Structure 1
Amino acid sequence: MSEHPGDEVDRIVAAWARERPDLDVSPLEVLSRVSRLARHLDLARRTAFGARGLESWEFDVLSALRRAGDPYELTPTQLVRQTLVTSGTMTNRISRLVERGLVERAASAADHRSVLVRLAPEGREVVDGAMADLVADERRLLQGLPPARQAELAALLKGLLEPFDEA
């Protein structure tokens, strides 16, 4: 059980253990907490992005371009890989971001048949502000854990996610 007995997950696990003693419900102790944290993180992200007039998907595309480094451009295929959406969805997203003036389409210098998506100056300003807000919110979410425990948790979660990332 948790070091802090009495949280909602402890109550859920205890109830299931009582009702279904034939089941090992111990995975709920970890994954139900991860799920509850994910909901808090999603809310923090929507708040940080919303304050900058962004949807989560817009932040995903803009941040992929920003992380690419100067000149902040990627092919649509690279964006699809980084954001885990279909090519049709990405085409729609790029068009909507172009309409908002946050990204620009440009011909590739290497292959004029190929298109690049480039972060526009306004897009860079918006994504930089949203990222600063997000990091501040995420720092607040983690304030209950000292830095050493945060590093330990990060390593544990990385180990849990590795098989999914490899797939």
Structure 2
Amino acid sequence: MSKPGGAEPARDMMDEVQRLWRRARPDDDVGPMGVVGRIQRASRLLEQGHRDYFRQFDIDDGEFNVLATIRRYGSPYVVSPGILLKTSYIKAAAITNRVDRLVAKGYVTRQTDPDNRRKVRVSLTPEGLELVERAFGGHVANEDRMLEALDSGEREQLAGLMRKLLVSLGDVPVD
């Protein structure tokens, strides 16, 4: 499988995994493994890039996700834990743990919803808002750096393909 002009495409670890499975199980189609395995490996590498970046702010990527979610909903920078849960695809216990850590660091507060005392709201503190504002530009630049192997057209194509896959797996906007 060579590119026009004869240049061989770069090989990655999944090429070797698939080669070995084709040899071990020649009657099985391991093509899907190449796609899913690459998505999983890319996810881990991108997460490591996030961890490396956010370390300078003494937060992790999950904590930044909570802060950024609250920030993106706009002033007065208050959301329910349910919004955090719906927009993150992680378990409620993980949201609770992240919010607990951010409360301890002084970046968010929890307060009872004045309209329904059985509900809680999570708010950015001024320090949390300042942190998000300070970290955001570098975060976007870090993601740009991690995607530098792809030109703008390839990025759009990949985003479109990933969107199609995610929608087919049930990842749709929440109200």
TM-score after normalising by structure 2: 0.82
Residue 57 of structure 1 aligns with an amino acid whose one-letter code is G
Q: Could you list the runs of 5+ residues in structure 1 that have no partner in the other structure? A: none
Q: Percent identity?
A: 38
Residue 122 of structure 1 aligns with an amino acid whose one-letter code is E
Question: What corresponds to 1:72 in structure 2?
Answer: 77
**Conserved 8 A contact 1:52-1:129:** no
Q: Secondary structure at the residue paired with 1:51?
A: helix
**Conserved 8 A contact 1:2-1:10:** no
What does 1:47-62 correspond to in 2, within 5 Å?
Answer: 47-62=52-67
TM-score after normalising by structure 1: 0.86
Q: Could you list the runs of 5+ residues in structure 2 that have no partner in the other structure? A: 4-8
Which moves more between the two structures, 116-125 or 127-136?
A: 127-136
**Conserved 8 A contact 1:48-1:130:** no
Residue 72 of structure 1 aligns with an amino acid whose one-letter code is Y
Q: Evaluate the alpha carbon distance shift between residue 91 and residue 34 of structure 1 in structure 2; reply closer, same or farther with a 3 A threshold.
A: closer
Corresponding residue pairs, total = 166
1:141 aligns with 2:141: no
Which moves more between the two structures, 90-99 or 117-126?
A: 90-99
Q: How far apart are residue 100 of structure 1 and its match? A: 1.5
CA distance in 1, matches of 2:15, 2:92: 42
What does 1:22-61 correspond to in 2, within 5 Å?
Answer: 22-61=27-66
**Conserved 8 A contact 2:54-2:60:** yes
Q: How far apart are residue 25 of structure 1 and its match? A: 0.7
Question: What corresponds to 1:156 in structure 2?
Answer: 161
Q: How far apart are residue 104 of structure 1 and its match? A: 1.9
Q: Residue deviations 1:69-94, cap 9 Å, x none?
A: 11110122222222334444434433
Residue 123 of structure 1 aligns with an amino acid whose one-letter code is G
**Conserved 8 A contact 2:79-2:122:** yes
Residue 125 of structure 1 aligns with an amino acid whose one-letter code is E
CA distance in 2, matches of 1:112, 1:33: 45
Residue 27 of structure 2 aligns with an amino acid whose one-letter code is D
CA distance in 1, matches of 2:58, 2:85: 23
Q: Evaluate the alpha carbon distance shift between residue 6 and residue 112 of structure 1 in structure 2; reply closer, same or farther with a 3 A threshold.
A: closer
**Conserved 8 A contact 2:47-2:61:** no
Q: CA RMSD in A?
A: 2.3
Q: Residue deviations 1:119-153, cap 9 Å, x none?
A: 11111122233332221121111111110111011
Q: Evaluate the alpha carbon distance shift between residue 87 and residue 28 of structure 1 in structure 2; reply closer, same or farther with a 3 A threshold.
A: closer
1:8 aligns with 2:16: no
Residue 134 of structure 2 aligns with an amino acid whose one-letter code is G
